[in-house]
Structure 1
Amino acid sequence: MEAVGLGFAAASVAELCLRIGKDLYKRCKSYLQAEHELREASLCIQGHWIKIEHQISVLHRVWKSLGDDLQIHQNLVLQVLQGKLQNAVNTVHSLGVLDDQRETSTLDRVVAKMGDTKRLKYAAYAKSCLEGIIVDLEKWQRRFDPSWFLLARIAVPVIDQQLLAEEEKTPGQSSVVSSVMQLRHVHNLNRNDAVASSVSTSIFLQASYGIQNRELIPLSTASTGSNSGHGLIIDYIPARAQVPINLATKDVRNLAHVLSNVDPERFGLLPCHGVAKRRDPSTQSISGFDIIFSIPEKLVHTRPRSLRSLLSTSPASVYPLNERVKLAVSLARSIVFLHSSCFVHKNISPENILLLHNNHQPTDVLGNLFLVGFERFRLAEGRTYMSGDSAWEKNLYRHPKRQGLHPEEEYTMQHDIYSVGVCLLEIGLWTTFVCYSEDPKSVTTPSPALRPIEGHIGARDQQRAATLIKDILVREALTRLPAVMGQIYSDVVVSCLTCLDKDNQRFGDEREFEDDDGILVGVRYIEKILFELEKIVV
């Protein structure tokens, strides 16, 4: 189908979803006078639809601005929604007859004629049906959110106008709309240095801001601390000699502005409370920056753990397979939202993946995942200094062309995808690839799981050694992962590790992704990595 034809077809799918969704909303209103359990379920369905309706309404109005690839993707996702909504309407209709003339339900009269036993059985059945609709809508929402937040990257004014119009129509009712609006606002600020510098509320904290009880998280780059009793995570970004301090300050400011607007439940990123400048005691010059993150209230009473710590100390039997798959999906989703936020991480590894346990979810053994370690971050359109280091334990998570003191390629999202692939391999095998000695001054060593790479560490031809190590990782994914995690998971890991290979059929030629807004690689990643992981059922 030609792009124009597809645009009209998908726009009509959006209109159809809106029409069916409104019918579902009206039918659910007939349950508001029903028993307590049915009333709660009905309200929950209505709440989900209101949120979806805001998003679809905006999407429909900005459709021409999305570009062909994002239109194709959204068309597929909307078709799934259409099917779920139609099934939901049919289900609700089967539970109670709607009187179209009075626009009220005869449900009460139907139930009133039932005996107590039948009434209880009917209520249990109806509640189960409504809860099934809730699960379907929640699953679809999780599937849609990643591509929805890609709207934050598209530099087209009409998107700002339509988001604002939707927000003004129902002020404060749609967090998903306001989240994209805030991200777009921050991106506009970051593009305009004069405006960003004149913002009245600075992201930089006063020198008097104190952090108490600061303590390094084991096998992590981050620390914990507190201020006035509030739990904090502190991520240190050192000043680098090759970056002028005024530029470093601006980059950190821009990063902090973006991170201050994240939704921790959706993004897998902690909200930034502010930035504290560190100064050299002797010269008072800025030596680095502490990014201060707030810990969400429901997670504040647990001690953060790094993924490296868990991989190093906890056997696979401690964590059920479904928990590991859930962790993998969370990591994959966090990369989408990093990309939506217009920056690349450049330092993804188990040391920079934190897990915080939710006391309200006791069955969630591993906890909630959050990325930290922004030491080497870069805004997607920002400067790149083509600098690196020779630490093997860091290079292990870098694409071969991004290794060493002088990397060959400028950093892109695909390089973050490669790093995710290495982490997914460790999660799947549930083994650490890097072993730390108890002596902090000693060197790190490859774990027994990666013994084959020992001969390549310190080799004279580092570029060739890096490629051979990548081949070893791919071989591990091909040979060991299927028996442990299944074929889908194995295929995803291989796709991540080979995402820049010319013969990778899932990603293809990297030149296809050279669009101005960086949307194409995001769409491809959502479809080929995230959606594939979410297919896994344990």
Structure 2
Amino acid sequence: MDILAFTMTCFELGDKVLEICETWKNTDGEVEQRVVIVNSTWDRTKRQAEFMSRIAPIIDDGMRRIMDDLLRQLSLCLTLAMNTLETVNRRASLARPSLWGFGSRAAKKASWVWKKETLDSVIIDLEAWKARFDPSWFLLMKIANPIIDSELAKARVAEAEARGRPTAARHPFAVAAGLRTVVATEPSKIKFDFHKESQMERHDIQFSTVKVGRLARDDPRWYILDTVEVGPAARVRDIGRDVRVLATKLAQTDAFAFGLLNCKGVIAVPRHKPVSSSAAPGHRQPPYLSPPAPSRRSRSPSPNQHDYTCFRFVFRIPDGVEVEMLRSLRQLLLNSDAHISLTRKLGMARELAKAVSYVHTFAFVHKNVRPESVLWVEGMRASKSPVFLVGFDAFRGGAADTIMAGDMRWDRNVYRHPLRQGNDPAEKYRMHHDIYSLGVCLLEIGLWESFVEYTTEAEVAGPPQAKLGRTYHHFQEWLRATEARTGQDGSAGFLDAVAFRLKDYLVERTKARLAPRMGEKYARVVLSCLTCLDDNNEDFDGAEAADASDDATALCFIEGIMKALDEISV
């Protein structure tokens, strides 16, 4: 069955669901509210499905396969909804009071409860399908074809004008059009003005790369501040260009739908004096904790360029989220109850994978996916577990040049692919490396233990600093045991002796410890992320992964990782 046939089947089922819901409108106020939600949700879903059917001829085989599967899921969702609604109608009919009026109040209450719970279930199922659908839907906006522009213009006519910033839930075509515009615009043609530095009240988020800030103490509006350090030898012009492009794209995001905060602007902080960094004489830090080495490939800005010490993204905190509700994932891993529910952990994993997917849809690589770069919203339902990916201090455009510099810090290298570890990474950064980092984070979430530890006030005065902890020492013990067993002494060099051994260690932990805690499906997802560049990885086309285009990689990620996470039920 092709996209058009699936679409027609879904339309028939959806219309039958609405017919049943319409008969419930006048039974109770709470029931009627839910009927209105079902109507509006189905209206948006139907219009998006119509759009897909009209552009089906220009979709390639990979995207067509994904869309076919999504429409098949929608058909099953609507069939289940229709059958459940019909069952409730039959139950309500059998529960009607007798001719003498006995039991009328009880029968009415039972009917109300059944209808309310059933409509809640239908709404949740439709929202879950939309969450699975949206990454592919927005990826369609990257297809360079005038048919999409024409159909998008037609579809937006039927969409009410958004009040304030459009959201993916209420105005999917407006958000899609905005995303399409910024993705298709050449970086050199993007107009974006930096804001001047101003005094702000700023506070740390524990174990996070970002801060919260506001302009005045009596200002109720708080923002997330995410700083990109330029460094004394960085390419200011290139970083400034990438900051402008990313800020323009993130200004189009819907935080809850994308897992990426909406950008209000960027503050450019000029350099007032040279920045130097030197260690105390004779001081030597342990492996994986030494500072970054200067890169031979770096170059200073030209005299006619503006020289900045950093760029500071200013992100809006979504409506309904208070500053006190924000926690870093690192804080949770270090301090939370070890018996956190499977539902909440799975929700976090799905949301984080979604955020990584959208970074790639925007044609960027994040380069810093780790728990310090993840904000979690406390106080929302466990099945949602909203998280936002921040920490853009190392990002760059997917096709842009990169400074091939690194460091030996454990707290960074444990999240890096082996080819990206050490002072001189062996390979230019690409999307697969973000996917590897995601796999390490998903392993931490599944085991619910932190791979990085921090100093306490009793150990070091001042703010907490990353330190070598249990996971590092356990890895060193595992490494020595492996060398003794295989006869290797580490003389093959850093990559063979340490970097790839660290990957092997994480893979072994996934196989040995993750499945009993999170199930075989979740463990398979983590393994696929950690081995995304291995020859035998089927989700990312094995040996061909290195040569795959960014869009092909994004499709593999949606089909192999996000779909697998969505199919896990607890």
**1:231 maps to 2:264:** no
Q: CA deviation at 1:383?
A: 2.7
Q: CA deviation at 1:500?
A: 0.6
SS of alignment partner, residue 243 of structure 2: helix
Contact 2:17 2:82 in 1 (8 A): yes
Alignment of 1:385-424 (within 5 A): 385-424=403-442
Deviations for 1:238-275, whole angstroms, at most 9, x for unmatched residues?
11456532222111010111111111111111111110
C-alpha separation between the residues in 2 aligned to 1:136 and 1:494?
A: 28
C-alpha separation between the residues in 2 aligned to 1:154 and 1:267?
A: 19
C-alpha separation between the residues in 1 aligned to 2:503 and 2:255?
A: 32
Aligned partner letter, 2:552: L
Deviations for 1:158-179, whole angstroms, at most 9, x for unmatched residues?
2222122101123337422211
1:205 counterpart residue number: 195
Contact 1:152 1:340 in 2 (8 A): no
**1:296 maps to 2:289:** no
TM-score, normalised to structure 1, is: 0.86
C-alpha separation between the residues in 2 aligned to 1:442 and 1:40?
A: 49
- Counterparts in 2 of 1:423 and 1:366: CA distance versus 1, 3 Å: same
Q: CA deviation at 1:462?
A: 1.4
Contact 1:152 1:341 in 2 (8 A): no
- Counterparts in 2 of 1:219 and 1:333: CA distance versus 1, 3 Å: same
Alignment of 1:45-444 (within 5 A): 45-92=38-85, 115-172=104-161, 174-189=170-185, 191=186, 193-194=188-189, 196-197=190-191, 202-207=192-197, 209-212=198-201, 214-227=202-215, 228-240=219-231, 243-282=234-273, 285-302=307-324, 304-317=326-339, 319-358=340-379, 361=380, 364=382, 368-438=386-456, 439=460, 444=466
Aligned partner letter, 2:33: E
Q: CA deviation at 1:121?
A: 2.8
Q: 1:505 aligns with which of 538, 556, 568?
A: 538
C-alpha separation between the residues in 2 aligned to 1:126 and 1:112?
A: 21
C-alpha separation between the residues in 2 aligned to 1:162 and 1:515?
A: 29
Q: CA deviation at 1:431?
A: 1.5
Name the Cα RMSD after superposition. Answer: 2.9
C-alpha separation between the residues in 1 aligned to 2:566 and 2:69?
A: 16
**1:475 maps to 2:544:** no
C-alpha separation between the residues in 2 aligned to 1:35 and 1:341?
A: 45
C-alpha separation between the residues in 2 aligned to 1:39 and 1:132?
A: 15
1:101 counterpart residue number: none
Q: CA deviation at 1:417?
A: 0.7
Q: CA deviation at 1:27?
A: 4.1
Contact 2:347 2:383 in 1 (8 A): no
1:3 counterpart residue number: none
Name the count of aligned residue pairs: 507
SS of alignment partner, residue 532 of structure 2: coil
Deviations for 1:71-119, whole angstroms, at most 9, x for unmatched residues?
011101101111222343444456669xxxxxxxxx9xx9998844433
Contact 1:482 1:490 in 2 (8 A): yes
Q: Which moved more, 1:272-281 or 1:448-457?
A: 448-457
SS of alignment partner, residue 386 of structure 1: coil
Deviations for 1:312-352, whole angstroms, at most 9, x for unmatched residues?
233413x2232222211211121122222221101111111
Q: Gapped runs of 5+ residues in structure 2? A: 163-169, 275-305, 481-489
Q: Which moved more, 1:339-348 or 1:417-426?
A: 339-348
Aligned partner letter, 1:50: D
Contact 2:345 2:446 in 1 (8 A): yes
- Counterparts in 2 of 1:12 and 1:240: CA distance versus 1, 3 Å: farther
TM-score, normalised to structure 2, is: 0.82
- Counterparts in 2 of 1:91 and 1:393: CA distance versus 1, 3 Å: closer
Q: Which moved more, 1:171-180 or 1:73-82?
A: 171-180
Contact 1:513 1:520 in 2 (8 A): no
Contact 1:203 1:257 in 2 (8 A): no
C-alpha separation between the residues in 1 aligned to 2:443 and 2:26?
A: 52
Q: Which moved more, 1:163-172 or 1:251-260?
A: 163-172
Contact 1:15 1:60 in 2 (8 A): no
Q: CA deviation at 1:65?
A: 2.2
- Counterparts in 2 of 1:325 and 1:12: CA distance versus 1, 3 Å: same
1:531 counterpart residue number: 563
Contact 1:429 1:484 in 2 (8 A): yes
C-alpha separation between the residues in 2 aligned to 1:365 and 1:161?
A: 37
Deviations for 1:438-460, whole angstroms, at most 9, x for unmatched residues?
32699744422342433779x77
Q: CA deviation at 1:477?
A: 0.6
Q: Percent identity?
A: 31
Contact 1:308 1:432 in 2 (8 A): yes
Contact 1:54 1:177 in 2 (8 A): no
Q: 1:487 aligns with which of 513, 520, 526?
A: 520
C-alpha separation between the residues in 2 aligned to 1:421 and 1:389?
A: 21
Contact 1:151 1:180 in 2 (8 A): no
